[in-house]
């Protein structure tokens, strides 16, 4: 009997320790999907999470590194050399970044849209306006993600039959493996999101959030890309009526994040936010401070600029032009006779200053998503495309006069090619280091007779990669290996040339 008691005691000890305490464990701090979005306030916080997916630095990195905006800096540690040498393949960061980032962006927006739609019947009337505005912004963000997929992966965005990216307008299961949809299908998806955004948005203007004006600006840009120039012209003209071109002081302050005259919308960047850091330097994966796409430390000579300004861009900048002051750091070393300089590497150091930093953080600046000068240039390109060459020239003159602070001569365009070339050259200066050059060359480079045009002295020592025609296959990104690994069938739909 005594023995049995002891056995019972030991057995009880085992059971009392309990197994569930060890195996029914819920980690603290987890927010269930079911509890994540229960009211409008939650949706607003979710929207702020999706805004944090929106980044322009990969575009800035790709356009500057691959095209003709930068040269290899005197303080280079080898950053971006392959892309500078026009080396682009399915393993490159460019393809994987644009593909993976935008599909994740699309996915997170869809999750929020689905959560919002399931709440739509429970929304109080008092919250309805805010709810609608949240949904408008979510649809806009999703359209933005898909427009990058379209522009970078479709060989021709003006041909509906070409292949673009898969249209994923829902939250798919993890085993989903789609093939590419056509450019026409992806356009339709983008437009449906933008139609919803337009109908739901109830804020006319907002500097750091999506408003009706931002939606209009985005549509203007899309119409231009699409080749629908009349629509582009009318949308751009409308915005130019509300957003004037900045004067010289305003322009300079704009890049210190201290003036918004010209800004239709910009992405706020502030200390401790998810982008407060260097990001991936010399890589399209970028992230981080915009200025860290060109330098490690700050936008001065001592800030370790691994990329400098391409001398051809510099040559286009007149010292009387405020854009010279904005883009060229005063600490730059400028060779008086660059073409004959025996040591151009050390005697001509053109430090890029478009992102000098703000809020006490060097290299960190707000990202200007839509500016009125871009609308002006969209309007000019539209006029050129519609045969109104003098109308295009007037706009270019207007912009240059604002930038110089004195009346500038009226350019003369005798053909569509000349007019496109004039617009493209002005875009190269006005929008330099803002991530447009790659898209611009792809869109009208051939029509304008322009391609990648680097300064010969800059590029000759760097593998002789100096020029590239705008019809080169590399103006469309490859479907990345990371996608083919998870979705083998899409490998058969690789873009030409890769």
Partner 1 sequence: MKLKLTWLLTLFMAFVMQLSFGQEKDITGTVTAASDGLPLPGVTVLIKGTATGTSTDIDGKYSIKAKAGDILVFSFVSMKTTEKTVGSSSTINVAMADDIASLDEVVITGYSTTTKAKSSVSSVRVSSETIENRPNASFVQTLSGQVPGLNITTSSGQPGGNSLVQLRGVGSITGDTEPLFIIDGAPVDQDNFRSLNPQDILSVDVLKDAGATAIYGNRGANGVIVIKTRQGGFNEGLKINYNGFVAYSSLQDDDYDVLGAQDLLRYERSRGNGAGAGNSNSLFNPGNGTPLTDAQIAAAPNFNWTDFFFRTGVTQSHTVSLSSGGENSSQFTSFGFNDTEGILVQSSLKRFNIRSNITGKSSNGKFNYGTNLTLNYSDSGEPNNIGGGAINRNFVLGALQSVPYLTPEDYTNGAALLAPLSFTNTPLFLLDRVETFTRVDEEVRLIGSANFSYALSDWLTANLLMSGDYQAAQNLRAEGPTSFNALLFGGAENPTSGFQQQNNPRTFAYNQVTSLNASKTYGKHSVDVGLYTEYFKTHFRTFGFFQNGLDPRTFSPGDGSGFIPVALDPASGGIIFNDNPNADIINTGLFSYFASADYDYDERFGGSATIRRDASFRFAASNRWATFWSVSGRWNISNEAFMENSVFNNLKLRASWGTAGNQNIAAPVDATEDFFATGSGYGNANSIFLAQIGNRDLQWETTEQVNIGVDFGVWNNRLRGSLDVYERETSDLFQQTPLSATVGFTSQPANTGLLTNRGFDLQLDYDIIQAKNQGDLRVSVGVVANFNETELDELPNSEGEIIGLGRNGGRLGEYFTLRYAGINPANGELLFLTADGDVTENPNADTDRVWLGKNIIPDWNGSFNLNVDYKNFFFTTQWNYVLGVDRFDNDYAGFINEDNVGQFNFSADILRAWTQPGDITDINSPTATNRNTFASTRFLRDASYLRLRFASFGYNFPSKYLENTGISSARVFINGENLFTFTEWRGFDAETRSNGSREFPTPRTISFGFELGI
Is 464 one of the binding residues for partner 1 (CB under 8 A)? yes
Ranges within 394-453 binding partner 1 (CB under 8 A):
none
Identify which of residues 48 and 320 has a Cβ nearer to partner 1 in the complex: 48
Integer Cα distance of 429 and 432 in angstroms: 5
Integer Cα distance of 12 and 6 in angstroms: 10
Is 49 one of the binding residues for partner 1 (CB under 8 A)? yes
Identify which of residues 112 and 385 has a Cβ nearer to partner 1 in the complex: 112
Is 203 one of the binding residues for partner 1 (CB under 8 A)? no
Integer Cα distance of 410 and 418 in angstroms: 14
Torsion of CA 38, 42, 47, 48, to 10 degrees: -160
Least separation in angstroms between residue 216's CB and partner 1 is 21
Is 119 one of the binding residues for partner 1 (CB under 8 A)? no
Identify which of residues 91 and 320 has a Cβ nearer to partner 1 in the complex: 91
Is 330 one of the binding residues for partner 1 (CB under 8 A)? no
C-alpha to C-alpha distances, 37 to 28, 32, 119, 406, 453, nearest whole angstrom: 19, 9, 8, 55, 50
Least separation in angstroms between residue 431's CB and partner 1 is 23
Ranges within 336-355 binding partner 1 (CB under 8 A):
342-343, 345-347
Least separation in angstroms between residue 377's CB and partner 1 is 27
Token pair of 430, please?
Answer: 């006005």
Integer Cα distance of 273 and 181 in angstroms: 35
Least separation in angstroms between residue 404's CB and partner 1 is 28
Strands 263-267 and 367-371: antiparallel
The 25-44 site mask, x for binding partner 1 (CB under 8 A), equals: xxxxxxxxx--xx----x--
Identify which of residues 271 and 387 has a Cβ nearer to partner 1 in the complex: 271
Identify which of residues 107 and 201 has a Cβ nearer to partner 1 in the complex: 107
- By CB under 8 A, name the one of 85, 227, 405, 451 that touches partner 1: 85
The 124-163 site mask, x for binding partner 1 (CB under 8 A), equals: ----------------------------------------
CA-closest candidate to residue 363, choices 434, 267, 278, 286: 278
Identify which of residues 108 and 454 has a Cβ nearer to partner 1 in the complex: 108
**Do you know the residue count of the chain?**
498
Ranges within 365-404 binding partner 1 (CB under 8 A):
none
Least separation in angstroms between residue 13's CB and partner 1 is 6
- Cα-Cα end-to-end distance for the chain: 83
Identify which of residues 36 and 188 has a Cβ nearer to partner 1 in the complex: 36
Rg (CA), the chain: 26
Ranges within 157-186 binding partner 1 (CB under 8 A):
165-166, 168, 171-178
- By CB under 8 A, name the one of 123, 301, 416, 447 that touches partner 1: 301
Is 486 one of the binding residues for partner 1 (CB under 8 A)? yes
Q: Confirm if 96 and 480 have CB atoms less than 8 A apart.
A: yes
* Cα–chain center distance at 292: 15
C-alpha to C-alpha distances, 449 to 164, 246, 319, 419, 472, nearest whole angstrom: 26, 30, 27, 11, 13
The 262-291 site mask, x for binding partner 1 (CB under 8 A), equals: -----xx-xxxxx-x---------------
- Using CB under 8 A, count the residues that bind partner 1: 109
Integer Cα distance of 333 and 337 in angstroms: 12
C-alpha to C-alpha distances, 71 to 220, 309, 440, 452, nearest whole angstrom: 32, 6, 19, 13
Q: Confirm if 90 and 454 have CB atoms less than 8 A apart.
A: no
């Amino acid at each position: 009997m005594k023995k049995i008691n002891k056995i019972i005691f030991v057995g009880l000890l085992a059971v009392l320790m309990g197994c569930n305490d060890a195996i029914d464990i819920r980690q603290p701090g987890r927010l269930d999907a079911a509890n994540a979005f229960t009211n409008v306030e939650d949706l607003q916080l979710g929207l702020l999470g999706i805004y944090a997916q929106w980044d322009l630095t990969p575009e800035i990195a790709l356009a500057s590194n691959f095209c003709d905006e930068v040269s290899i800096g005197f303080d280079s540690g080898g950053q971006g050399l392959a892309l500078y040498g026009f080396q682009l393949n399915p393993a490159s960061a460019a393809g994987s970044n644009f593909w993976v980032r935008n599909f994740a962006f699309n996915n997170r927006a869809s999750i929020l849209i689905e959560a919002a739609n399931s709440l739509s019947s429970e929304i109080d009337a008092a919250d309805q306006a805010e709810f609608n505005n949240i949904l408008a912004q979510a649809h806009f963000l999703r359209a933005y993600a898909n427009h990058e997929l379209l522009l970078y992966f479709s060989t021709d965005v003006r041909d509906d039959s070409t292949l673009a990216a898969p249209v994923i307008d829902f939250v798919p299961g993890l085993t989903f493996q789609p093939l590419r949809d056509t450019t026409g299908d992806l356009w339709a998806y983008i437009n449906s999101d933008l139609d919803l955004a337009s109908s739901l948005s109830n804020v006319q203007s907002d500097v750091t959030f999506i408003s009706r004006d931002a939606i209009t600006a985005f549509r203007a840009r899309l119409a231009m890309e699409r080749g629908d120039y009349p629509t582009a012209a009318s949308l751009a003209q409308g915005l130019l009526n509300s957003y004037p071109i900045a004067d010289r002081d305003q322009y300079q302050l704009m890049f210190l994040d201290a003036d918004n005259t010209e800004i239709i919308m910009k992405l706020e960047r502030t200390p401790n936010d998810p982008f407060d850091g260097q990001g991936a330097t010399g890589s399209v994966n970028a992230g981080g401070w915009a200025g860290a796409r060109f330098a490690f430390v700050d936008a001065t000579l001592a800030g370790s600029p691994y990329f400098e300004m391409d001398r051809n861009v510099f040559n286009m900048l007149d010292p009387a032009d405020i854009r010279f002051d904005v883009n060229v750091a005063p600490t730059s070393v400028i060779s008086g006779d660059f073409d004959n300089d025996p040591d151009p590497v050390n005697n001509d150091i053109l430090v890029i200053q478009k992102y000098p930093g703000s809020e006490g953080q060097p290299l960190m600046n707000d990202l200007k998503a839509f500016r009125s000068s871009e609308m002006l240039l969209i309007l000019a390109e539209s006029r050129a495309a519609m045969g109104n060459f003098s109308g295009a020239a007037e706009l270019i003159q207007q912009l240059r006069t604002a930038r110089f602070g004195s009346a500038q001569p009226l350019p003369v365009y005798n053909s569509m090619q000349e007019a496109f070339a004039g617009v493209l050259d002005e875009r190269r200066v006005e929008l330099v280091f803002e991530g447009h050059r790659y898209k611009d060359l792809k869109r009208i480079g051939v029509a304008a007779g322009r391609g990648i045009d680097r300064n010969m002295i800059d590029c000759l020592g760097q593998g002789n990669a100096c020029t590239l025609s705008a019809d080169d296959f590399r103006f469309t990104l490859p479907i990345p290996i990371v996608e083919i690994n998870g979705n083998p069938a899409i490998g058969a739909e690789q873009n030409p040339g890769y």
